Structure 1
Amino acid sequence: MSEVAGDQDFETRQIHAGAVIDAQTKARVTPIYQTAGYVFSDFDDGEDRFAGRSGFRAYSRNENPTNAVAGQRLANLEGGVDGIVVSSGQAAIAAALFTLAQAGDHILATRSLYEGTREMFRGALRRQGLQVEYVPDDADESEWASRVTERTRAIYTETIPNPLNQVVDLERLAGIAHAAGVPLVVDSTVATPYLCRPIEWGADIVIHSTSKWLAGHGSVIGGAIIDGGGFDWAANGDRFPHLVESPRPGVPSFVDRFGVSAYLGYLRTVTVLEYGPTVPPTSTFLLLHGIETLSLRMDKHVANALEVAEWLAEQPEVTAVSYPGLPSDPFHTRAQRYLPRGAGAVVTIDLAGGRAAARRFIDALELISPMTHIGDVRTLAIHLGSTIHAKLSEEERLEAGITPGLIRLSIGLESARDIVVDLARGLRAAAG
């Protein structure tokens, strides 16, 4: 028995959307279906499951009941038609793009992307034949159009780029992508569906690292891909023949078989099935518990982040604060449009004393955890130049805006006063 959550408010849907009451036990909480496979009732049932003619599952590599609830809940919260959870945010990016493109194809991307994503683009994806070309976020339409080729398969961006928070004009990028006949793919991890739903602004595919605010407690790794259901694959079949053409005689195309969710149908039954980036249902169980309190936590994250950012902006040891919730931030106006509930919980600061000051700052923290992660209930801090961006040359770091004193803070749910007290301790040390 599946729960109906169509016209309900976000706070209700984050608890109920996609939930299924177990037919046998009537368990209220979605169970952990810790199983590799599912018993066929007879010969024909096995054949039907593998052919996709049955509503029952064949194997947990791409179809597990616990995971299915999470995929459907996230699709509901984002306003999409279907969703799937996978083993990590990186796996979500790779699976999303491999469902669109093959060796020799071309992806256009905004420059302000998380460095882990850029590393994968210039590493594993390039070795497998995908070319990613970067365009300045605010380049005009003619420049974007001039970069599109017959092999272009998507435009890729982030709602709130990590770590510098350069809020992207989603509606404009969606228009550029659709004029080119390709989908807009958006990593919306930092925003979460509570703060921004890119599909409402024209995005076609939304990606999350569910390890972050969605799960919320720093205890699991996971990713998700949501299909918006609005892109016309049939009208752009020359770029996506694998979705619009029959895979073999007598077999319907993915568009014929899945309709508006053709992309997610292919991703689930081909990409995820063949690559196998499976997330354990135990991890998804924790993810579902995190999603149930998402709105409550995000309200507190945002309130804390704004209070901390306002305080940091007044400190002499800090030369710059990147947080679009501040009226002084260059992306504040755009944040008000796309993020009316708040500009997220990442606050990035630049210390006047550079790397040496950053070292003293990090080592003096007591409450705040120095580690690589964001979206935890705990406040976290990391020096970017010596960790996430360490593989870049100094010139490349500066070009990406990663200065020697840059510190990324993921603001948690502790008392804002206590967070500020610990930051003050770090700044005193940074000042020497």
Structure 2
Amino acid sequence: MSDRLPGFSTLAVHAGAQPDPTTGARATPIYQTTSFVFNDADHAASLFGLQAFGNIYTRIGNPTNAVLEERVAALEGGTAALAVASGHAAQVVVLQQLLQPGDEFIAARKLYGGSINQFTHAFKSFGWNVVWADPDDIASFERAVTPRTKAIFIESIANPAGSITDIEAISTVATKAGVPLIVDNTLASPYLIRPIDHGADIVVHSLTKFLGGHGNSIGGIIVDAGTFDWSTGGKYPMLSEPRPEYHGIRLQETFGNFAFAIACRVLGLRDLGPALSPFNAFLILTGIETLPLRMQKHCDNAKAVAEFLAGHPAVASVSYAGLPNDKYYQLARKYAPKGAGAVFTFSLKGGYDAGVGLVSKLQLFSHLANVGDTRSLVIHPASTTHSQLDDAAKIKSGAGPDVVRLSIGIEDKEDLIADLEQALGA
């Protein structure tokens, strides 16, 4: 190729991949192996001592997974990435590098219900404490900062309501506080939003959703922006202090702008063990090749469906940032000019019962707990994904009792509208 930087669609197909040097296979092979042979004793010792890069054991790294990691890092504009078993696993591994028992992190209230549950309950057993802030009130993040704050966590497009978060404004708060900004970019994908361009230091994804895109494999990924100085103030000893298990190496000093990705691999993935299957990595890689095509179709369909629902007499309101009268419309134009995503919510005039009833009457939409599939999906969050929350918390997170969440697929929009029309009429 010339010196021209490849475009997004080219990276989605080619980044990280080369023909297999042994067989010439053009598709990335599935290296379905537990472990890898060393050249000799010195080679093995250098790998285990972090003095050389290479393959040891698939729990720590695998060539199929490595292509996936390089591809997503390229699409997000990061320095390095680490693939793990799920989006939830990505969150655990990230925060393990940053937090000690008794530390705090600030999180936006508008998050996927599973993340709210994980942060509120599961992380307590590690001694990690979440402090909630309102993404519609940037000052609430500033007020939440304490000497124990070690990170800020937001979603670029929030699940379930599809609201757009002002990444740059919250990045300013994180910079002032001297902590990294972590952005879950699952609903946007890098095709719509690249959080690193707006001040994110770490990006996480559930690969299960739009990046994989076909509802056939679970995975997660962590992308290191390479922008944060982990030695500042001694806040992050996992990265700045000598690591006894690696003969006193300081990861920040040794690995520079991809030290965080290395820490996640050799301290987090190595010991916690949420490894991604090479077979799942292969399926997700295949999905990423069509990401630009799919995401644009997702967005175009979602806008058409949202416009239909906004005009229907049974619908009380539609929360979709792609509609001109939506409160997040200007943020969508700033951060996601190609489209406001494919996941959004709407409220029915009949309340809770109407929401549950609509889900059962739809025929083309699949009723299940996922988003980002080629197929259109529907769920009633208050009775499922956000059911562990009380009513007040459900409303704050955008999942009130009358709310239905749609994940719009790549079918013909006319068929999706017809299915909603018959279900609403029924």
TM-score bin (small chain): over 0.9
CA contact (8 A) 2:186 2:205 kept: yes
Q: What is the CA distance between 1:117 and its match in structure 2? A: 0.2
Output the amino acid matched with 1:263.
F
The whole-number CA distance in structure 1 between the counterparts of 2:111 and 2:49 is 39
Hey, what does 1:425 align to over in structure 2? 422
Hey, what does 1:246 align to over in structure 2? 242
Equivalent residues in 2 for 1:101-140, closer than 5 Å: 101-140=99-138
Hey, what does 1:322 align to over in structure 2? 319
Against the structure 1 CA distance between its residues 152 and 252, is the aligned structure 2 distance closer, same or farther, given a 3 Å change threshold? same
Q: How many residues are aligned here?
A: 425
Hey, what does 1:69 align to over in structure 2? 67
- Give unpaired runs (5+ residues) of structure 1: none
Determine which of 308, 331, 335 is the counterpart of 1:334: 331
CA contact (8 A) 1:237 1:244 kept: no
The whole-number CA distance in structure 2 between the counterparts of 1:318 and 1:135 is 29
Against the structure 1 CA distance between its residues 80 and 378, is the aligned structure 2 distance closer, same or farther, given a 3 Å change threshold? same
Determine which of 196, 204, 207 is the counterpart of 2:204: 207
CA contact (8 A) 2:301 2:409 kept: yes
Hey, what does 1:368 align to over in structure 2? 365
The whole-number CA distance in structure 1 between the counterparts of 2:49 and 2:260 is 18
Hey, what does 1:92 align to over in structure 2? 90
Matched, 1:230 2:231: no
CA contact (8 A) 1:237 1:243 kept: no
Q: What is the CA distance between 1:97 and its match in structure 2? A: 1.1
The whole-number CA distance in structure 2 between the counterparts of 1:343 and 1:395 is 26
Hey, what does 1:35 align to over in structure 2? 33
CA contact (8 A) 1:384 1:407 kept: yes
The whole-number CA distance in structure 2 between the counterparts of 1:110 and 1:55 is 37
Hey, what does 1:197 align to over in structure 2? 194
Residue deviations 1:352-391 (CA, integer Å, cap 9, x gap): 1112212321121111111111000000100111111112
Q: What is the CA distance between 1:251 and its match in structure 2? A: 3.1
Matched, 1:81 2:79: yes
Against the structure 1 CA distance between its residues 395 and 54, is the aligned structure 2 distance closer, same or farther, given a 3 Å change threshold? closer
Hey, what does 1:51 align to over in structure 2? 49
The farther-off stretch of 92-101 and 200-209 is: 92-101
CA contact (8 A) 1:4 1:17 kept: no
Matched, 1:359 2:343: no
The farther-off stretch of 3-12 and 263-272 is: 3-12
CA contact (8 A) 2:85 2:274 kept: yes
CA contact (8 A) 1:105 1:130 kept: yes
Describe the SS at the equivalent of 2:111. coil
Matched, 1:303 2:300: yes
The farther-off stretch of 13-22 and 327-336 is: 13-22
Residue deviations 1:303-351 (CA, integer Å, cap 9, x gap): 0000110111000100010110000100000100000110000121111
Q: What is the CA distance between 1:298 and its match in structure 2? A: 0.5
Against the structure 1 CA distance between its residues 233 and 57, is the aligned structure 2 distance closer, same or farther, given a 3 Å change threshold? same
Residue deviations 1:230-264 (CA, integer Å, cap 9, x gap): 11222x24211221222249633101211111111
Hey, what does 2:344 align to over in structure 1? 347
Describe the SS at the equivalent of 1:385. helix
Hey, what does 1:390 align to over in structure 2? 387
Output the amino acid matched with 2:379.
I
Q: TM-score, normalised by structure 2?
A: 0.97
The whole-number CA distance in structure 2 between the counterparts of 1:311 and 1:147 is 40
The whole-number CA distance in structure 2 between the counterparts of 1:426 and 1:4 is 54
Describe the SS at the equivalent of 1:207. strand
Output the amino acid matched with 1:161.
A
Hey, what does 2:154 align to over in structure 1? 157
Q: What is the CA distance between 1:20 and its match in structure 2? A: 3.0
Q: TM-score, normalised by structure 1?
A: 0.95
Q: What is the CA distance between 1:204 and its match in structure 2? A: 0.3
Output the amino acid matched with 2:205.
H
CA contact (8 A) 2:97 2:239 kept: no
The whole-number CA distance in structure 2 between the counterparts of 1:179 and 1:22 is 46
Output the amino acid matched with 1:51.
G
Output the amino acid matched with 1:123.
H
Residue deviations 1:87-141 (CA, integer Å, cap 9, x gap): 0111111111111112111101111111110100111111210000011113344
Describe the SS at the equivalent of 1:84. strand
The farther-off stretch of 196-205 and 21-30 is: 21-30
Output the amino acid matched with 1:246.
P
CA contact (8 A) 1:66 1:281 kept: yes
Identity, % of aligned positions: 43
Residue deviations 1:212-236 (CA, integer Å, cap 9, x gap): 01011100000000000011222x2
Q: What is the CA distance between 1:5 and its match in structure 2? A: 9.5
The whole-number CA distance in structure 2 between the counterparts of 1:202 and 1:6 is 25
Against the structure 1 CA distance between its residues 4 and 86, is the aligned structure 2 distance closer, same or farther, given a 3 Å change threshold? farther
The whole-number CA distance in structure 1 between the counterparts of 2:2 and 2:146 is 43
CA contact (8 A) 2:110 2:396 kept: no
Using CA pairs under 8 Å that are at least 6 residues apart, name the structure with larger relative contact order, 1 or 2.
Answer: 2
- Give unpaired runs (5+ residues) of structure 2: none
Against the structure 1 CA distance between its residues 56 and 398, is the aligned structure 2 distance closer, same or farther, given a 3 Å change threshold? closer
Output the amino acid matched with 2:121.
G
The whole-number CA distance in structure 1 between the counterparts of 2:402 and 2:143 is 37
The whole-number CA distance in structure 1 between the counterparts of 2:10 and 2:80 is 19
Describe the SS at the equivalent of 1:54. coil
